[in-house]
Amino acid sequence: MTEAQPFPKTAVLAVRQALLERTEIALIDVREEDPYAQQHPLWAANFPLSKLELEAWTRIPRRDTRVVVYGEHDGEDLALRAASTLRGLGYTDVSLLDGGLAAWIAAGGEVFRDVNVPSKSFGEVVEARRHTPSLAAPEVQALIDSKADVVIVDARRFDEYQTMSIPTATSMPGAELVLRIRDLVPDPATQVIVNCAGRTRSIIGTQSLINAGIPNPVAALRNGTIGWTLAGQTLDHGASRRPPSDVSAANRDRAREGARSVAARAGVRRIALDALATLEAPGRTVYRFDVRTPEEYAAGHLASFRSAPGGQLVQETDHHVPVRGARIVLADDDGVRADMSASWLAQMGWEVYVIDPVDEAQRSARGEQAADIPAAPEVRTVSPMALSAWLRDGDATVIDVTASANYVKRHIPRAWFAIRAQLTQALQEIPPARRYVLTCGSSLLARFAARDLQRLTTAEIFVLEGGTAAWVEAGLPVEQGESRLAVPRTDRYRRPYEGTDNAAAAMQAYLDWEYGLIAQLDRDGTHFFEVV
């Protein structure tokens, strides 16, 4: 590893200064998601080393971006390995955070728990500054029980809503609220209640409707489905209610007027599509997002714009825009969703632009935009049927480097789960074999992992053609559960607000943490949030 040391080091104070000066910098934590979620700086973005090649070019599109890397695991220098990978991907300004996370903490740097912390802390600031109205779970239950004139809308993704929802609630992801609420709730006297799983999307959704001038009384469900559960109330599962698919012309005009007004107050800028090149000055990163629904995006979108539904973009800004100080450009086809999403990003301190209306013909790109990833390494492969024969004869050991949640749902019988960046540790648990076969969902990540594994063993290394999906399509059997974990499942942080089987103490602790975020922001001092 000593030959890979020529990476410069960046002092903690230099990183902080860049954040304060709002110059472009990507501070990336290359640990797995769970250790990242335990503690990290406010603007650190999670880039697990295990998936770095699959994410870097898309999430940090400019190769001369200033990238500062930190993260260690069980004594292995993940930061150095990640820096080497980034250099191999063409990044030219890569350095290591001097002293790592420990140095950040020793220097008095604030560290935050959980994921998507910039957005969640911003939501707390919004509620504190705007006194966003809210109702407790028992109050909302009483309204439902009395058959009051009330409509509940769930601002999360549709799949989250289907997992668990408030009884009678309709799915209306965040960016859709201002556009569609009038068609769902035509009577301005009807009480509207916005919910999510915890607090942030309830607050932002409620305040979006207020900011855009919706005439109805609006309130957030205080503490979302967590608050509902802690109150001992019953959630629905598998709900499928959606708002009307069409928006009337009159309601679209009202929504557009309200959205344009709040965007202007927030300092959102406007730009013509053919003038985008003027934003891409040397040293400037420009992210382009289409904030409509994934279905609308697939049906036709502007070339070079990626899909990022507005509500989730505001909720997960650290994932979509890991380069702090970058520029963001948003597009829609209605003059509502981009403006509303941009209004929140601008209040979070981002330089945001909305594309001027374009002809529908210019949305000529179809389907999902392909991920920008390097060519996978050349590896030896084996077909599912051939692997089945090897396993029957005891002639191979399978290592599955997919996400642990996917492994638990289904995996090849007797396959071992391993995290790609932790193959050294995994081999200490997996019995030695003369032949290893790597797999994942599609075989893509397994191909990169095969190159890593070959450096650690003299055994034969193969990759399963088409991954576990091809195994299943071949009609071969699978297992479920945590049967063979070669390393702990640290690749994903279990959110206290997801699912329905979390301990009450964990849910309450999460709410207490959210309430404490404003104090952490004040101590950190790098956020630049300005609520209008």
pLDDT tens-digit map of 168-183: 999 999 999 999 999 9
Whole-Å CA distances, 386 to 168, 402, 462: 51, 21, 11
For residues 72 and 35, give the distance between their C-alpha atoms in angstroms, rounded to a whole number. Answer: 10
Number of domains in the chain: 4
Q: How far is CA 216 from CA 139, 190, 192, 241, in A?
A: 18, 6, 7, 21
Same domain, 237 and 140: yes
Q: Which amino acid is at 73?
A: H
Residues of the domain holding 467: 381-473
Same domain, 167 and 87: no
pLDDT attached to residue 165: 97
Supply the pLDDT for residue 179: 98
Burial class (CB in 10 A: 0-12, 13-18, 19+), 182: buried
Determine, yes or no, domain membership for 177: yes
In a domain, 147, yes or no: yes
Residue 485 counted as domain residue:
no
Among 433, 445, 436, 429, residue whose Cα is nearest residue 491: 445
Residues 390 and 354 in one domain: no
CA 455 to chain centre: 32
Q: For residue 385, how many other CB atoms are within 10 A of its CB?
A: 13
* Residue 504 confidence (pLDDT) above 90: no
Residue 369 lies in a domain: no
The answer to which of 212-216, 310-314, 512-516 has the lowest mean pLDDT is 512-516
Supply the pLDDT for residue 510: 86
Residue 341 has pLDDT above 60, yes or no: yes
Q: Name the 3-class secondary structure at 294.
A: helix
Q: Give the pLDDT of residue 316.
A: 97
User: Are the beta carbons of 350 and 328 closer than 8 angstroms?
Assistant: yes
pTM: 0.95
- Give the pairing type, strands 45-46 and 269-271: unpaired
Cβ neighbors of 20 (< 8 A, separation 6 or more) are 525, 526
Cβ atoms within 10 Å, residue 203: 28
Residue at which a domain ends, from 473, 495, 518 = 473
Shared domain for 468 and 386, answered yes or no, is: yes
Asked if residue 374 has pLDDT above 50, the reply is yes
pLDDT tens digits, one per residue of 470-493: 999 999 999 999 999 999 999 999
User: In terms of domains, do 324 and 425 share one?
Assistant: no
- Which residues lie closer than 8 Å to 277 by C-beta, 6 or more apart? none
Of the candidates 361, 393, 418, which is a domain's last residue? 361
Same domain, 145 and 101: no
Region 73-81: what's the mean pLDDT?
71
pLDDT-derived band at 2 (thresholds 50, 70, 90) equals very low
Helix (H, G, I), strand (E, B) or coil at 211: helix
Q: Give me 187's structure tokens.
A: 């009577």
Contact yes or no for 88/120 (Cβ under 8 A): no
Position 127 scores a pLDDT of 98
Distance (Å, whole) CA 391 – CA 262: 62
Task: Note the pLDDT tens digit of each residue in 266-297.
Answer: 999 999 999 999 998 888 999 999 999 999 99
The answer to whether the CB of 90 falls within 8 A of the CB of 405 is: no
Q: Is the dihedral of CA 441, 444, 447, 448 positive or negative?
A: negative
Residues 106 and 136 in one domain: no
Predicted local confidence at residue 5, as pLDDT:
52
Same domain, residue pair 58 and 142: no
Please name the amino acid found at residue 526. T
- Confirm whether 349 is domain-assigned: yes
Q: Over the stretch 392-437, which tens digit does the pLDDT of each residue have?
A: 999 999 999 999 999 999 999 999 999 999 999 999 999 999 999 9
In this structure, the answer to whether residues 64 and 12 fall within a common structural domain is yes
Do the domain assignments include residue 494?
no
**Per-residue pLDDT band at 76 (split at 50, 70, 90):** low
Q: 178: domain CATH number?
A: 3.40.250.10
pLDDT above 90 (res 495): no
Give the whole-number percent of the chain exceeding pLDDT 90.
Answer: 92
The whole-number pLDDT of residue 75 equals: 44
Contact 330, 338 (CB under 8 A): yes
Structural domain ending residue among the three candidates 114, 141, 158: 114
Percent above pLDDT 70 for the chain: 97
Mean of pLDDT values over 453-482: 97
Co-location of 320 and 281 in the same domain: yes
Mean pLDDT value of segment 308-329: 98
End-to-end CA distance of the chain: 51
Q: What is the mean pLDDT of residues 21-49?
A: 97
Question: By three-state DSSP, how is residue 174 classified?
Answer: helix
Q: 367 in a domain, yes or no?
A: no
Distance CA 76, CA 1 (A): 10
Question: What mean pLDDT is reported for the chain?
Answer: 95
Cα→Cα distances 465→51, 361, 379, 459, 460, Å: 19, 39, 10, 19, 16
Tell me, yes or no, whether 236 and 282 share the same domain. Answer: no
Same domain, 273 and 234: no
Does residue 457 lie within any of the structural domains? yes
